[in-house]
Structures are given as structure tokens and as C-alpha cells.
């Protein structure tokens, strides 16, 4: 099965208007989707809790698609 880029030749990126890459403190690259796109919330909850324990920051994933997506 081909991924979105292989099928369309277009990268799939969604950024908020006026987003500035250099203004962010850190980035998470979940390349294969195992952290954020699992069938249950165990990976998401573990990620959020790990960030809280290590940094003391509460993470919000508002606006991020957290379900597995199947591209026809």
C-alpha cells in the first residue's frame, strides 16, 4: 500500500496561519504514528505523562488528529 505522498506526490502538512517554526521550543516527529495514532489512548496518555514528569509542562494535543487514518 502506498502512502499519501507516494499516491499524490504532495506532502501532507497542516500548519496554523502565521505559524513560525523558529518560535517553537521543541518538535515531536512521530514518523510511523505509534505514539499518537494508536487504536487506544495508551500511547497518547503515556506520552503526555512522560512529558509532564520530565519537563513539568502539561501537554495539550488539541487540534491534532489522534486516530489512525487509512488512505484509500
- Angle at 72 (CA atoms; ends 64, 12), nearest 5 degrees: 40
CB-based burial label for 29 (10 Å; 0-12, 13-18, 19+)? exposed
Query: Residue 36's pLDDT band (boundaries 50, 70, 90)?
Result: confident
Average pLDDT of the chain is 76
Average pLDDT over residues 9-37: 76
Amino acid at each position: 500500500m502506498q502512502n499519501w505522498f507516494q499516491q499524490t506526490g504532495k506532502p501532507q502538512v497542516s500548519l496554523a496561519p502565521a505559524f513560525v517554526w523558529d518560535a517553537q521550543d521543541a518538535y515531536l516527529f512521530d514518523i510511523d504514528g505509534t505514539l499518537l495514532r494508536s487504536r487506544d489512548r495508551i500511547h497518547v496518555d503515556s506520552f503526555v505523562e512522560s512529558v509532564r514528569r520530565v519537563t513539568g509542562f502539561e501537554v495539550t494535543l488539541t487540534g491534532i488528529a489522534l486516530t489512525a487514518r487509512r488512505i484509500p
